[in-house]
Amino acid sequence: MRKCDDIRGRLTLYLDNELQGDERATVEAHLSECEACAAIFARELNFLDAVRSEPLHQASPELRDKVRQIISEGRRVPAVSEKRSSAARPRRFGWVDAIAAGLLVLLLPVLMWRIVRQKETLGPSNFALMAAETHLRHVRGQLPLEMETESPQEISSWFANKVDFKVQLPNYQESSGQEKLYTLEGARLVNYQNDYAAYVAYRMKERPITLVITSGSVATPSGGEVIASKGLRFHYNAIAGLKVITWSDRGLTYALVSDLEERGQKSCIVCHEGTKDQDFIEPLKPH
Amino acid sequence: MDTHGNKVGFGQAALEHLDALYGYAMTLTRDTTEAEDLVQETYLRAANAANRPEGDSNLKGWLFVIMRNAWLNQLRHKNSGPRFVDLELNEQPVDEMQESPHVVYIRKLEREQVREAIESLPDAYREIVVLRDIEGFTYQEIAMVLNCPAGTVMSRLGRARGKLRKALATWQTRTRIRAV
């Protein structure tokens, strides 16, 4: 029996061709004489055969041509359509160009002003972008939850051995005794910077709210509009129609994503529903 | 300085891995346009690299490392808006002339199930399943591509396959129910 346990523990390595010499021969010898282990082996082999049977994607002939050109010329080659347009016969300076030039002169001060403003406010951080993107993917049904529950405690326990930090979700709804304004839907892991981040999904009146949590050493909030409240600095960004608030607190970095009104500050109630926290949310409202 | 013969040899060998690289790019980006861009960027970097691996044995792994680094670099520097996800796949038809329509149909169904199950995995799990089970890299090669210890490869792969098995079982049960 102990032999069986030992062999089964090494079946994956055997199936992945990671065993050589004596180790490989030992597994093969055992499989030839133990029906129970041979059955497990056959089941695993079937599963892996199904997964390994077909490539998932194939490059298009157009991409193949482009890559051939890159290899032979050592540089990117413009697409045929781009070449054609740039190689078109030279045009004379006509009335369309004159109007365009006039508009450019008129709009130049506005453009310059916008560029200066953009420099004053940095763009969203990669963490905020990732949070917005995962929110969108989840809403589109492309990122299913790995566990579904309305219990914050169950979510905290589920993350316990999966991420290197502690995910502790408050349960203000029960303690406040107020009307249930939102529901917790579940959680999953998402990949960020070669590490896992915790993804928690809520819903408030049919509108999804996402909370993404990672270690402060992996992501630092930056960019966007900075709003200070209760000793924390919140970075607010509007990304693809979504309101994204990122901040760091006690070694963790958070992103809260929603499509709620104004700056999406109402989404903060997923953790701060109690009346005592209203002054916490207030500064996030646009003035 | 690259001789003409070396260049041709490298080009032919590198081109053999195009489908694999495109598949990995789709795994990383989940978007056909971004995947095609990433593939071109990878070949561009490879074509201009000063130190290419000797022989063909390490070429595939080396190209995957280039692709992953290029992708991480793009993620770090990306600040012009979120990536919009498009899971519509532009796949080329496989030659199925030799098989009966029924077998072709069943194959397609199974392939679709496997693909859906892999697509539903968290990013890191999806990536490791693609590297091992689709591309056939060894644990050591995967560790090189992902820049992590081989032990991490083993444990992550185990967890990923566990999830995949569960997802496929769910789909198979659903298909059986539909068939009844």
* DSSP for A58-93, written as a single string: ---HHHHHHHHHHHHHSS----HHHHHHHTSPPPP-
The Cα of B135 is separated from the nearest Cα of chain A by a number of Å equal to: 8
**pLDDT per residue as tens digits for the range B114-167:** 888 888 888 889 999 999 998 999 999 999 999 889 889 999 999 999 998 888
Q: Which of A52, A67, A86 is the last residue of a domain?
A: A52
Question: Is the confidence at residue A14, as pLDDT, over 50?
Answer: yes
Stretch B83-98: mean pLDDT, rounded? Answer: 36
Residue A228 tokens read as 């200070």
- Residues with Cβ within 8 Å of A97's Cβ and at least 6 positions away in sequence, in order, are A91
At residue A228, the pLDDT reads 77
Q: Cα B6 from chain centroid? A: 27
Question: Is the confidence at residue A115, as pLDDT, over 60?
Answer: no
**pLDDT per residue as tens digits for the range A89-98:** 444 556 666 7
Are A138 and A24 in the same domain? Answer: no
Cβ–Cβ < 8 Å for A256, A267: yes
Is this complex scored with an ipTM above 0.90? no
Give per-residue burial for A206-236: e unless 16+ CB within 10 Å, then b: ebbbbbbbbbeebbebbbbeebebeeeebbb
> Which residues in chain B have their CB less than 8 angstroms from residue A74's CB?
44, 47-48
> Which residues in chain A have their CB less than 8 angstroms from residue B74's CB?
none
A52 has a chain B CB within 8 A of its CB: yes
Give per-residue burial for B65-75: e unless 16+ CB within 10 Å, then b: bbbbebbeebb
A76 within some domain: no
* Other CB atoms within 10 Å distance of the CB of residue B145: 24
Q: Which of B31, B61, B77 is the last residue of a domain?
A: B77
A109 within some domain: no
- Which is it for the CA torsion B146, B150, B155, B160, positive or negative? positive
CATH number at B64 reads 1.10.1740.10
Are B107 and B71 in the same domain? Answer: no
A124 has a chain B CB within 8 A of its CB: yes
- Predicted TM-score (pTM) of the model is 0.49
A171 has a chain B CB within 8 A of its CB: no
Phi/psi of residue A58, nearest 5 degrees: -135, 140
What pLDDT band is residue B68 in, cutting at 50, 70 and 90? very high
Are A145 and A19 in the same domain? Answer: no
Stretch A183-188: mean pLDDT, rounded? Answer: 89
* Other CB atoms within 10 Å distance of the CB of residue A12: 16
B41 within some domain: yes
Determine which of A4-8, A141-145, A153-157 has the lowest per-residue pLDDT on average.
A141-145
Greater confidence (A260 vs A26) lies with: A26
> Which residues in chain A have their CB less than 8 angstroms from residue B81's CB?
129, 239-240
**pLDDT per residue as tens digits for the range A246-280:** 988 888 899 999 887 766 666 666 666 544 455 55
Give the separation between CA B171 and CA B167, rounded to whole angstroms.
6
Question: Is the confidence at residue A172, as pLDDT, over 80?
Answer: no
With a pLDDT cut of 70, the percent of chain A lying above it is: 71
**pLDDT per residue as tens digits for the range B53-67:** 876 668 899 999 999
Question: Is the confidence at residue A244, as pLDDT, over 70?
Answer: yes
Are A24 and A156 in the same domain? Answer: no
Q: Which residues pair with A183 in a beta bridge?
A: A203
Residue A46 tokens read as 């079937």
Compute CA distances A155 → A68, A144, A146, B149, B167, whole Å.
49, 15, 11, 29, 20
Match 């409240």 to its residue by tokens: A229
Beta pairing, strands A252-258 & A242-249: antiparallel
A121 within some domain: no
Could you list the residue range(s) of the whole structural domain that residue B175 is in?
A: 101-179
At residue A80, the pLDDT reads 40
Cβ–Cβ < 8 Å for B38, B70: yes
B26 has a chain A CB within 8 A of its CB: yes
Question: Is the confidence at residue A83, as pLDDT, over 60?
Answer: no
Number of structural domains (chain B) is 2
Mean pLDDT rounded to a whole number for chain B? 77
Greater confidence (A207 vs A100) lies with: A207
Verify whether the Cβ–Cβ distance B15 to A64 is below 8 Å: yes
Stretch B31-43: mean pLDDT, rounded? Answer: 92
- Residues with Cβ within 8 Å of A95's Cβ and at least 6 positions away in sequence, in order, are none
- Residues with Cβ within 8 Å of A128's Cβ and at least 6 positions away in sequence, in order, are A221, A223, A224, A235, A237, A239, A244, A246, A255
B52 within some domain: yes
At residue A232, the pLDDT reads 78
At residue B38, the pLDDT reads 94
Are B121 and B158 in the same domain? Answer: yes
Cβ–Cβ < 8 Å for A268, A256: yes
Greater confidence (A166 vs A115) lies with: A166
Number of structural domains (chain A) is 2
Verify whether the Cβ–Cβ distance B110 to A50 is below 8 Å: yes
Q: Which residues pair with A212 in a beta bridge?
A: A199, A255
Are A159 and A242 in the same domain? Answer: yes
Could you list the residue range(s) of the whole structural domain that residue A17 is in?
A: 2-52
- DSSP sequence for B72-87: HHHHHH--SSPPPP--
Q: Is A111 exposed, middle or buried (0-12, 13-18, 19+ CB in 10 A)?
A: exposed
A146 has a chain B CB within 8 A of its CB: yes
Q: How many distinct helices (H) and strands (E) make up chain B?
A: 8, 0
Give the separation between CA A219 and CA A253, rounded to whole angstroms.
6
- Residues with Cβ within 8 Å of A242's Cβ and at least 6 positions away in sequence, in order, are A132, A135, A136, A257, A258, A259, A264
Are A44 and A130 in the same domain? Answer: no
> Which residues in chain B have their CB less than 8 angstroms from residue A140's CB?
85
A241 has a chain B CB within 8 A of its CB: no
Question: Is the confidence at residue A148, as pLDDT, over 80?
Answer: yes
Are A150 and A267 in the same domain? Answer: yes
Cβ–Cβ < 8 Å for A260, A209: yes
* Selection from A15, A144, A203 nearest residue B133 by Cα: A15
CATH number at A165 reads 3.40.1000
A181 within some domain: yes
Question: Is the confidence at residue B7, as pLDDT, over 70?
Answer: no
Using CB atoms, pick whichever of A13, A129, A140 lies closest to residue B85.
A140
A221 within some domain: yes
Verify whether the Cβ–Cβ distance A194 to B80 is below 8 Å: no
